[in-house]
Amino acid sequence: MDLFSTVALGDLTLPNRLVMAPLTRTRAGAEGIPNELLVEHYSQRASLGLLVSEGTYPSHESRSYPGQPGLVTDEQQEGWRKVAEGVHAAGGRIVVQVMHGGRVSHTDITGTDRIVAPSAIAVSGEAHTPLGKKPYPVPHALTAAEIDDVVADFVAASRRAVDAGIDGVEIHSANGYLLHEFLAPGANQRTDEYGGSPENRARLTVRVAQAVAAEIGAGRVGVRISPAHNIQDAWEKDPADVEATYTHLVEQLQPLGLAYLSVLHAEPSGEFVQGLRKHFGGPLMVNTGFAQVTTREEATGYLADGVADVVAVGRAVMANPDLLARWQGGHPENALDATTSYGTGPEGYTDYPFLPETRA
């Protein structure tokens, strides 16, 4: 496989195998409405095979960051419509990552009277709220009936995305947020059908994937996981349990015929990730970005060696909106300025320079 060859992910046909990884960047304002900055940001990067948006909240209670976009209101849906139109006009394809932040939040961010999680266990550390840093509060442990509402929220947000013209959704079950919290024994101390065994802890992600696929079509749906990521106190430190949990998860996803499975892991060529790929049976997207910055040589190597079908890249795409052309032509890359990654304006978001020939 070649990085610059076409590939089918479910209902999507990509002109190349380079994907923009989801990147939290907090530019959507206090109301979470995608604005012209987001339209420009995503449209600038439309030459990539696929763009995955930053995590987008499906309910007010699920919001994790000030400035994070949502898919709850008509105004937010209309904002995503403008993003979709801009990306499509530039020849691109985009899916929205639907993300419930779970306990990684604060009521000063959500504007609600609680935050929620599998169990009443707070995350260590502090949340960045509009009123400054504050300790993460002890979350409310979701009841079974409230879990049904969470599933319905994912479905409703996914429907809004597709109705806005977005090409599909990626279900966020990684990085220590709600669905990952259910998967991780360090965050999930439940004793009902959603806790305890690997099968029970995987149940919510499976339910969400099934329901969203039924609503918008499986060929428009991807799922992102980060096994043993051990981030934001979603501890998964028993290798045998990790293998059992994620093997069961992907075996349950396999019959759905989803567009892709995205795995964030430091060793995508290892037996564990490749075993998940076999059990999933569909296209595999790999992303090593949390462990290291993915280089052109690594990305092309994963594809040449048959490790994955597509490769998701984050920081290099952030700093190089025309990364595809730079990698195709062997051109030097802009360096990322990490101090401007998060913010409210264009600096570090839409002002990275293009190669002269790609800008033209």
Quickly tell me which residue has 């101390």 as its tokens: 189
Run of H or E residues at 96: strand 94-98
Q: Which of 57, 136, 177, 246 is catalytic?
A: 177
Q: Among candidates 154, 101, 146, which has minimal Cα distance to 128?
A: 101
DSSP-H helix ranges across 3-123: 36-44, 74-89, 107-110
Tokens of 131: 């009123």
The answer to whether residue 177 is catalytic is yes
Exposure of 116 in the CB half-sphere (CA atoms within 13 A):
19
Q: How many residues in the chain?
A: 360
Give the C-alpha separation, 166 to 79, whole Å.
11
Run of H or E residues at 313: strand 310-313
Q: How far is CA 308 from CA 189, 245, 255, in A?
A: 34, 21, 20
What's CA 144's distance to the chain center, in Å? 25
Which residues partner with 98 through β-bridges? 56, 171
Run of H or E residues at 252: helix 239-253
Tokens of 84: 């979709």
8 Å CB contact between 326 and 320: yes
> 195-201 — which CB contacts under 8 Å span 24+ positions?
195/118, 195/119, 198/241, 198/244, 198/245, 198/248, 199/248, 201/245
Task: Tell me the torsion sign for CA atoms 178, 179, 182, 184.
Answer: negative
DSSP three-state, residue 359: helix
> 335-342 — which CB contacts under 8 Å span 24+ positions?
341/23, 341/25, 342/24, 342/25, 342/26
- As annotated, the active-site residues are 177
